[in-house]
Amino acid sequence: MTGVPCNPENWVELHGDYLYRFALSRLPDPKSAEDMLQETFLAAIQALDRFEGRSSERTWLTGILKHKILDHYRRIGRDAGPGERDDPQDRDPDLFGEDGHWKSNVNYPSEWGDPDRTLDQSRFWEALGHCLGELPTRTARAYTLREIDGEETDVICKDLNITATNLWVMLHRARIHLRECLELRLIGKTKT
């Protein structure tokens, strides 16, 4: 598919499912993913004459989608203001003590089976999207940028207008929440 793009009328059929799953794994709900997909296709049609064919059509469309998702979170970040922090009231008392530090009796993750097979399952991506949607918006964004998109710390801190220390706290809390949420949704483990 490298070279001149095919007819935009075929984009939904050829790339729609892939792009939708990509958006859904980075956004809190299906409606937002659908909106970003529509914005991506519109932007791609407007930029069609600038596509040089140096990448595959899917890669080009995915790049546009990534930028649309980043713009979406930047808008949310501007609306929320730079001082937004996770509310201490939202902390799980089973994980955090009164002083805000981790309790030492937190259980380790249980066995998840074959991770390669699980990763390929659409059920995993649906569960991950749901679990990310339960996180505060900025925490979900920080996790997505770092762990899914592989962005560097300084890029994420600049994008979210936070310190590196705040980023690491957000990532740590996101990982704990996602671990518990995914265990609950994928293997039916209940909280202990």
DSSP secondary structure string for all residues of 113-182? --HHHHHHSHHHHHHHHHHHHHS-HHHHHHHIIIIIS---HHHHHHHHT--HHHHHHHHHHHHHHHHHHH
pLDDT of amino acid 41: 92
- Got the DSSP string for 86-104? --GGGS-TTTB-TTSSBPT
What pLDDT was estimated at residue 123? 74
Summarised one tens digit per residue, pLDDT across range 38-62 is 999 999 999 888 888 788 888 889 8
Q: How many CB atoms lie under 10 A from the CB of residue 109?
A: 12
CA–CA distance, 87 with 28 (Å, rounded to integer): 19
Residues of the chain with pLDDT under 70: 1-6, 77-96, 99-122, 189-192
Catalogue all structural domains in the chain, each as residue range(s) with its CATH number.
8-80 (1.10.1740.10), 90-187 (1.10.10.10)
Predicted TM-score (pTM) of this structure: 0.48
**Distance between CA atoms of residues 172 and 176, nearest Å:** 6
CA 178, 181, 184, 189 torsion-angle sign: positive
Q: How far apart are CA 172 and CA 66, in angstroms?
A: 24
DSSP code at position 35:
H
How high does pLDDT run on average in the chain? 79
d(CA 20, CA 73): 17
